[in-house]
Structure 1
Amino acid sequence: MSWLPGVDDDDEYEEWDESAARVRPNPKANRPRTKRRPEHEDAVVGRVLTVDRGRYGLLVHEGEPEEREVTATRARELRTQSIVTGDRVDVVGDTSGDEGSLSRIVRIRERTTLLRRSADDTDEVERIVVANADQLMIVVAAANPEPRPRLVDRYLVAAYDAGIAPLLVVTKTDLADPAPFLRNFAGLDLPVVTSAKGEAPLDALAPLLDGRTTVAVGHSGVGKSTLVNALVPSAGRATGRVNEVTGRGRHTSSSTVSYRVPSGGWIIDTPGIRSFGLGHVDRDSILRGFPDLAAIAEDCPRGCTHLADAPDCALDEAAERGELDEVGRLRLDSLRRLLATLAG
């Protein structure tokens, strides 16, 4: 009896062989794997405005008549890369911005700056706060909550490390005189804007923001989101009050969002924080923020910490020779305070 179906033993047939079997081709299964990726020459450039659980709010065709906001996800090849507010990205797919549409981020463009922080000073794993900002607006309150000079020092360290220009805004000056607090930074080339409670210094702030991408940081309850709402009336950022018992503000902003300022420029509002780790920063990054002192420090012995107890520090020798004027001595004090902050 034949083992081929439909063929009797008496029929003549050729001996069956596996090589004679016809295999239906599967183009996907048989396609050789490659690491080459599409060039995406049709991609459009987008600015990341928001990041929310794997979805990215983008502004595409910025400054053009067809400018619009779209929602995007990331391409598979970017799954190990962080995409943050302020990033410039290349986008493909449905960029119509219609309800329910979804585009895809396929490339992250080169970043000019990165504002980073770590969980604490012992953690060297950096967390990117925003990308491509060129100004850091540090918001503090003269009172309620009390200003924290050492937290401001940490913001300044992060700004100098990132190559971002710092700007200090002091709110609620009707509750306390900000002068004693500001003396901590007298030696720094630090622009300062002040405002009373319930007032927004728009006339003073607007020119400083125009043409720049500014990231706003500050302790909870200092009035940062109130400032953002005054600068961008359509922002609608939640605001809160300070606990009368603890003196602490309550977190009201839970996400980092970028807004276009009607008078010019961009402002990125960040959630209020109570700590700012510097585990990723090195000493040379701080010194670069003080170019006049860095030139003197070139004569320091190798490994010099530039702190007050550092042996044979050229900065001390310059001060003893009278080469530093009053402002120079104040700047030296500020530099050493920042370095001491970094050293823990």
Structure 2
Amino acid sequence: MSVARRRELDEDDVRSRANPRGTRPRSKQRPAHEDATDGMVIAVDRGRFLVLARDPAGREVEATAMRARELGRRGIVVGDRVGVVGTVSGDPDALVRIVRIDERDTVLRRTADDNDPNERVIVANATQLVIVSALADPEPSLGLIDRCLVAALTAGIEPVLCLTKADLAAPDAVLERYAALSVPAVVTQRGGSLDELSALLRDNVSVLVGHSGVGKSTLINALVPSALRATGSVSAIGKGRHTSSSAVALRLPDDAGWVIDTPGVRSFGLAHVDADDLLWAFPDLEDGATQCLPGCEHGPDEPGCHLDAWVAEGHSTPARLAAFRQLLVSR
């Protein structure tokens, strides 16, 4: 039916379906839920959510929650700040409903590969992305590090590089590769001190990302001794140990911040990131890029690119431009 035809119809033209049961017509007005209790999603598992909230006595408890129907298909992820209704008691048999998802400060997302149009949100409201890479066993994946750096920088999340297993290989070459980005880096080894890493995590919501086997769970167990992170089949919601098959948020001792452990990743697609997104993370190059020809991809041999001249004029450094182009190619 054309738009013009639809506009000709009035109420008498619309046939109402009889309601033999006598029930009230469904209202479009949604409940306000002004009495909803604030909480934070700390684990997600097969349509159920573990929410940290406060009970009527003000005690912090973990409540199992379901998504309210009025939220539709809106995604809920670890780190989301939400509102819940129901009995917040900490009773393992109690079930509450998530009725509100607060606006997110940051969103860390990836795609399955660079040609996948479907973005997947990993966590919400993280302030730091800790990129965990082993120096040996397995060998460092520089491509994954590059991609995680792009994802963090374009999302407004501070990246941190954590190089593990320094007792097996020296970190110098990897550190030198990323020196121009001025990314904080910490090097750890088996049985060594984690004081430097703890200092970087303090007062932050930090999400740890890396390949399987790089030592993320080992770090988590050392930072949060009660976490008992391990690879297995136990659900992230329920009794027993948390597993590395799903993301989970864990509070650091002495309320010093949060760490979010994630499953080991095989790939980190960046189909949602383009050159302009990445330039946002390089303000010293961004103004120079405005003088490039339209459609410029900012490559080193591109005739319309003004970035080399911009650096020659002293607005940035060759190392920064090289780092930008390195990340640009890796996305």
- TM-score band, normalised by the shorter chain? 0.7 to 0.9
Q: Which amino acid aligns with 2:105?
A: T
Alignment partner, residue 246 of structure 1: none
Q: What is the DSSP-based 3-state SS (H/G/I as helix, E as strand, rest coil) of the residue aligned with 1:222?
A: coil
Instruction: Please report how far the alpha carbon of residue 141 of structure 1 lies from its aligned counterpart in structure 2 after TM superposition.
Output: 0.8
Alignment partner, residue 261 of structure 1: 252
Aligned in 2, Cα 1:190/1:41: closer, same or farther, shift over 3 Å? same
Give the one of 285, 289, 313 matched to 2:305: 313
Q: Deviations over 1:235-258 (max 9, x none)?
A: 000169xxxxxxxxxxx7101000
Alignment partner, residue 90 of structure 2: 97
TM-score (norm 1): 0.83
Alignment partner, residue 226 of structure 1: 218
2:125 equivalent to 1:129: no
Alignment partner, residue 154 of structure 2: 161
2:39 equivalent to 1:46: yes
Aligned in 2, Cα 1:100/1:314: closer, same or farther, shift over 3 Å? same
Instruction: Please report how far the alpha carbon of residue 84 of structure 1 lies from its aligned counterpart in structure 2 after TM superposition.
Output: 0.4
2:64·2:92 contact (CA, 8 Å) conserved in 1? no
Which residues of 2 match residues 39-118 of structure 1 at below 5 A?
39-61=32-54, 65-118=58-111
Alignment partner, residue 337 of structure 1: 326
Q: Percent identity?
A: 55
Q: Deviations over 1:275-294 (max 9, x none)?
A: 10111112211111111111
TM-score (norm 2): 0.86
Aligned in 2, Cα 1:122/1:233: closer, same or farther, shift over 3 Å? same
Aligned in 2, Cα 1:134/1:27: closer, same or farther, shift over 3 Å? farther
2:84·2:97 contact (CA, 8 Å) conserved in 1? yes
Give every structure 1 segment of 4 or more consecutive aligned residues whose post-TM-superposition deviation is greater than 4 Å. none
Q: Which amino acid aligns with 2:248?
A: V
Aligned in 2, Cα 1:87/1:27: closer, same or farther, shift over 3 Å? farther
For structure 1, the residue ranges without an aligned partner over 5 or more in a row are 1-25, 241-251
Q: Deviations over 1:111-150 (max 9, x none)?
A: 1111000010001110000001010000111111000111
For structure 2, the residue ranges without an aligned partner over 5 or more in a row are 1-18, 233-242
Highest CA radius of gyration, 1 or 2? 1
2:30·2:70 contact (CA, 8 Å) conserved in 1? no
Q: Deviations over 1:70-129 (max 9, x none)?
A: 111111122311110000111001211212100000111101111000010001110000
1:48·1:87 contact (CA, 8 Å) conserved in 2? yes
1:136·1:217 contact (CA, 8 Å) conserved in 2? yes
1:126·1:280 contact (CA, 8 Å) conserved in 2? yes
1:149·1:184 contact (CA, 8 Å) conserved in 2? no
**How many residue pairs are counted as aligned between the two chains?**
301
